[in-house]
Amino acid sequence: MLIKLLRKIFPSKNEKDLKALMPIVNQINQIYATLNKLTDAELRAKTDEFKARIKEKTKHIEDKIDELKRRVREDKELTREERLEIYDEIEKLEKELFKEEQKVLDEILPEAYAVVKETCRRLVGKSWEVTGHKIVWDMVPFDVQLMGAIVLHQGKIAEMATGEGKTLVATMPAYLNALTGRGVHIVTVNDYLALRDSQWMGKIYEFLGLSVGCIQNYMNTEQRKAQYACDITYGTNNEFGFDYLRDNMAIDPSDIVQRGHYYAIVDEVDSVLIDEARTPLIISGPVPETEHKFDWMKPKVERLVTAQINLVSKIVDEAEKLLNEGKLEEAGVLLLKASRGAPKHKKLRKILAEPEYQKLVIDTELEFLKDQGVKLRKLDEDLYFVVDEKNHIIDLTEKGREFLASLSPEDREFFVLPDLGTEISIIESDPYLTPAQKQRKKEELYRLYSERSDKVHAIQQLLRAYIMFEKDVDYIVQDGKVLIVDEFTGRVLPGRRYSEGLHQAIEAKEGVKVEQDTQTLATITIQNYFRMYKKLAGMTGTAATEAQEFWEIYKLDVVVIPTNKPCIRIDYDDVIYRTKREKYNAVIDEIERMHKIGRPVLVGTTSVEVSELLSRMLKRRGIPHNVLNAKHHQREAEIVANAGLRGMVTIATNMAGRGTDIKLGPGVAELGGLHVIGTERHEARRIDLQLRGRAGRQGDPGSSRFFLSLEDDLLRLFGSERIANIMQRLGYKEGEPIQHPMVTKSVERAQKKVEQNNFAIRKRLLEYDDVLNKQREVIYSLRRHALMGERLEDDLLDMLTDYVEDVVERYYSNLDLQGLRDEIMRTLLIDLKITPDEFEKLGREGLKEKIYNEALEFYNRKKEQLGEELMFALMKMSMLQVIDQRWQEHLREMDELREGIHLRAYAQKDPLVEYKTEAFEMFMEMMRRIRSGVLSLVFRMFPVMPEEIQERKPRRPRREQLNLVHQESIGMGLRVAAAEADIATAVKQDVKLKPIKVDRKVGRNDPCPCGSGKKYKHCHGKI
């Protein structure tokens, strides 16, 4: 009673948000009531009227921007400093313009939304084709849909239950914001929904005089450009992200397809911004053939895994014998050892299905952890490797290392990684070695370290492939390829690969072709792509449980919109069994019971394997059904749409068919509506809520129930202790389920634990990617200036200033005049005539000024000689070519840095701090190389014919050679897997790479035959 009273006195934030929306909704409805008097042409003319009002309010700012741009373009008397000031002023005015536009849109909103609502009313009864099917329009927005639409315009997330018409809701803010003419992007989870929604809702926009486009995977550059030119563009997050990356690889302004990132509405926002956001989008190209150790190590790791399984089987047999003899303490130690060696061992899991034995293992583990884990480490010595499922870690023990070494008599020491710091110190302090000998010894040390760490890394990833990744659960094998299955949707993810060699390890495990390494040409995470939009909004059926993450990462507020009709779905408490076998039998019994009544049933599973198991069980009972999983996703929309018909039984992996409503067939509502069965709780509560939400849409009757077992991963890893205690205390027998609200709450507590853990991982990943993102912004901005021909001269002169500063600091401190003269001649083609006396007299600052002025004079003479147009073409070509080459090299080096950075944790160093430090140093080195590369080309190149310069474009891998990959992100300093440590980065030199011929095949980690002192893979091995 007290809590209810307090809630009335102090309403929640969400209640306050909804209360603030009601006056706007009333205003929309008042205007809507007056619009039926207008003709179609008059209603359509409202669009032009709105555009004119926006133009009128923002014209003074746009005129200022246009005037400043004209000055920079035409006024040749402007100094460089004045031009930079104008660019800063333009940037400020563009921000002011956006604010002014939003203010005008807020004023127009009630009228604009009323116009869309009236358009929907006029379309009622009309029909048109949507993805090959004829549909009849029957929708006019409800008040709750108007509330959702207002929330979307405000740049927030609208949580609206399944079946509440989110697709229609998006049309109102899309129409309103498209009036600015800057383009609105509506993001969906797959190509089918993008096409369906653009054709379905497109009639509203077209009726009101706006254009609508849709990006599809097969489209070429010209087609994409046409779609982005539309007022409103539908597409998937992958297509938008890859187009952004391709635009920043374009070599001609006409190849750029996107207009900018003004406003995006993300449908199923939790799926796109949370589930998909953990993984980067990568465009990669081919690299020279590289050796991998997976095929060589596979038989050795297979024998190791077999030895461990045999060992655990013996331990489990011994434990079972002790349990029968009543020696619980000794049995508990053995069961703990077995669960650390092979937690998914079938016989072990059967024993641990008994709550008392599960509690015995938990109590034993707590006892062994008391002395800082010393006893636990001693226990692990009998195993070949230790598995930590919660943290996805596998650690080889000394026994395991000895076993593998015995299988490699030719190299028994390959596990012994030399201590680089100590060894280098010994080499450096040896007085009997010449500098050349010291360098050679260091190279040998690096090569030995690299070869051994590569082998250790291969073993580590193969172990993970065998122990932690299951076929038909985490991935499927189709047409000789390993395809990842999305854990959230159950869909196959074509083109996506696990990172850090894990995918290659799984390919080796499954005996399919191990794919060649590729080089990253461009990359961005979904998180950083969507944070570029000036305004971002989203809608989904489940966002409240992730509200903290949406706010911390994207600064997006969540507003829960009430349903149009009260939800009358009955959500039964979870039913928990001891074993999976008992659970699946109970699920089949429940399906059979509902099928006899005639109620449709939707069964949600967590993997392809479980779907097919239930399908076989249903066939044995003679129950007709549809299976929808990662292997049959082409038909998912049709199957899900029919899942509400009388007597239908549909088995679907998690959220397959998301975005398609399940409408009840005739007479089904009277029988009780759709019954949803969950066969396992997902680690994210919102996935379970989405499954439940398939029943009870728009006030329909329905029900849902989850069937769990103590063998389920979630309960086994995170919630077993509490539930096992309850089952033991209440004395439940085999086959007897436990059903109680307290148990359901325990499961939800376990899910919260996992959600917090996953959030921490995603946040940490973003911290890593933010480092590369800041670097990406600098490079892409510099590249865009060059591509569009803006600020070319200013950027070049900035480079010259920085180059002169750097080169003088390098040579002046050693008073190396000759070195300075050689460097200036080599890069700028300027003969620096200066005596040693003048060199000392001028000092650092005087020297910088002299070199800069001479370089500027040389540049102006060359510009006069070649003509401004040709000089600008030379600058543009030089910048694009050098930036692309150096950026790709940098991405490759960043990949290599990231692979081993987590091992710094073993040296009591924060991997993130180490990563930031080294990444900054690498970035500064790359910028130095870009500067000298661009200046060298611009100053030294004298074209023969103007046509050659204008036509020449930077080389790039052909389009068919590029791979578009949405990569799985594992590692990144998050999941520590004892593998290789980073080799200290050798000092890079600006040596122009040329193809060389060698008599024998050079290994990737051998010294390069060119004599640069670098490894082959860092030198000519990159070509």
**Average pLDDT of span 519-531:** 84
Is residue 180 a known part of a binding site?
Answer: no
For the record, the structure tokens of 643 come out as 């899942």
**In the predicted structure, residue 951 carries a pLDDT above the cut 50:** no
- What percent of the chain is predicted at pLDDT more than 70? 84
Q: Partners of 702 in the beta sheet?
A: 674
For the record, the structure tokens of 948 come out as 């050659």
pLDDT tens per residue, range 169-226: 999 999 999 999 999 999 998 888 899 999 999 999 999 999 999 999 889 999 999 9
Start-to-end C-alpha separation, the chain: 74
Cβ atoms within 10 Å of 643's Cβ, excluding its own: 27
Q: Where are the extended beta strands (E) located within 606-749?
A: 626-628, 649-653, 674-678, 702-709
**In the predicted structure, residue 1006 carries a pLDDT above the cut 90:** no
Claim: this prediction has a pTM higher than 0.85: no
Structural domains in the chain, sorted by start: 13-284+527-560 (3.40.50.300), 293-468 (no CATH), 570-739 (3.40.50.300), 768-902+913-941 (1.10.3060.10)
Is residue 166 a known part of a binding site?
Answer: yes
**Average pLDDT of span 709-713:** 82
What single letter denotes the amino acid at residue 865?
Q
The model's confidence at residue 993, banded by pLDDT at 50, 70 and 90, is: very low
Is residue 381 a known part of a binding site?
Answer: no
Residue with more model confidence, 294 or 122: 122
**CA contacts within 13 A on the Cβ side of 757:** 15
User: Any residues with CB less than 8 A from the CB of 97 and at least 6 apart, and which?
Assistant: 58, 61, 62, 65
The model's confidence at residue 4, banded by pLDDT at 50, 70 and 90, is: low
Look at 141-145, 392-396, 415-419, 808-812 and tell me which has the smallest mean pLDDT.
Answer: 415-419
DSSP 736-798: --B--HHHHHHHHHHHHHHHHHHHHHHHHHHHHHHHHHHHHHHHHHHHHHHHHTSSHHHHHHH
pLDDT tens per residue, range 239-288: 999 999 999 998 889 999 999 999 999 998 988 888 777 667 888 776 65
Q: How far apart are CA 23 and CA 160, in angstroms?
A: 20
**In the predicted structure, residue 461 carries a pLDDT above the cut 70:** yes
Is residue 1013 a known part of a binding site?
Answer: no
Look at 138-152, 577-591, 753-767 and tell me which has the smallest mean pLDDT.
Answer: 753-767
Residue with more model confidence, 937 or 1004: 937
**In the predicted structure, residue 989 carries a pLDDT above the cut 50:** no
| CA dihedral for 43, 44, 49, 51, sign (positive or negative) | positive
CA-based nearest residue to 1011, from 1023, 1020, 1001, 1000: 1020
What pLDDT was estimated at residue 1017?
Answer: 54
Q: How far apart are CA 285 and CA 959, in angstroms?
A: 9
Q: What is the 3-state secondary structure (H, E, C) of 557-596?
A: CEEECCCCCCCCCEECCCEEECCHHHHHHHHHHHHHHHHH
**In the predicted structure, residue 11 carries a pLDDT above the cut 50:** yes
**In the predicted structure, residue 342 carries a pLDDT above the cut 80:** yes
pLDDT tens per residue, range 37-55: 999 999 999 999 999 999 9
Report the DSSP pairing between strands 133-136 and 127-130.
Answer: antiparallel
Is residue 914 a known part of a binding site?
Answer: no
Average pLDDT value for the chain:
83
Q: Partners of 558 in the beta sheet?
A: 157
What pLDDT was estimated at residue 803?
Answer: 92
